[in-house]
Amino acid sequence: MKKKDGTKSTKPVKDLNEEESIAHYNAIMIEDLRSTIRTELEGLHSKMDSFERRMGSFETRMDSLDAKMDKQCGLLHTAIRCNADGIRELSAKMDRIIDRVNDHEERISQIEKVS
């Protein structure tokens, strides 16, 4: 137990008076509280380290998924552009076919007029 001046007392616990006994009890409780706080802080640090490792793993997975999504979006964009080019080509071919059909219809109607 510590004296009022901060030094340790060498008096046996059984010889303490009431005030010294209360101070001794308080010192023991404070030391127990300190020990409990240290233990809790160590547990907290352990949990924080675990959380940081898990977050690092999560961030790595998210970066990987982000890269995959970028690649897939690029492929999709390329496919859409190719399809758009294909649609334009088909539209041009359809326009030529429609023009030819219209020409044939005109010829047929001219032939029908002559006959």
What's at 12, amino acid-wise? P
User: What CA–CA distance (Å, rounded) separates 80 from 67?
Assistant: 20
Q: Tell me which of 36-40, 60-64, 65-69, 103-107 is least confident.
A: 103-107
Q: How many residues does the chain have?
A: 115
Cβ neighbourhood burial of 73 (10 Å; 0-12, 13-18, 19+) = exposed
Identify which has the larger pLDDT, 24 or 86.
86
Q: What percent of the chain has pLDDT over 70?
A: 90
Q: Are 21 and 28 in contact (CB under 8 A)?
A: no
**Which of helix, strand or coil describes residue 61?**
helix
Considering the entire predicted model, what is its pTM?
0.47
Tokens representing 91 are: 């539209």
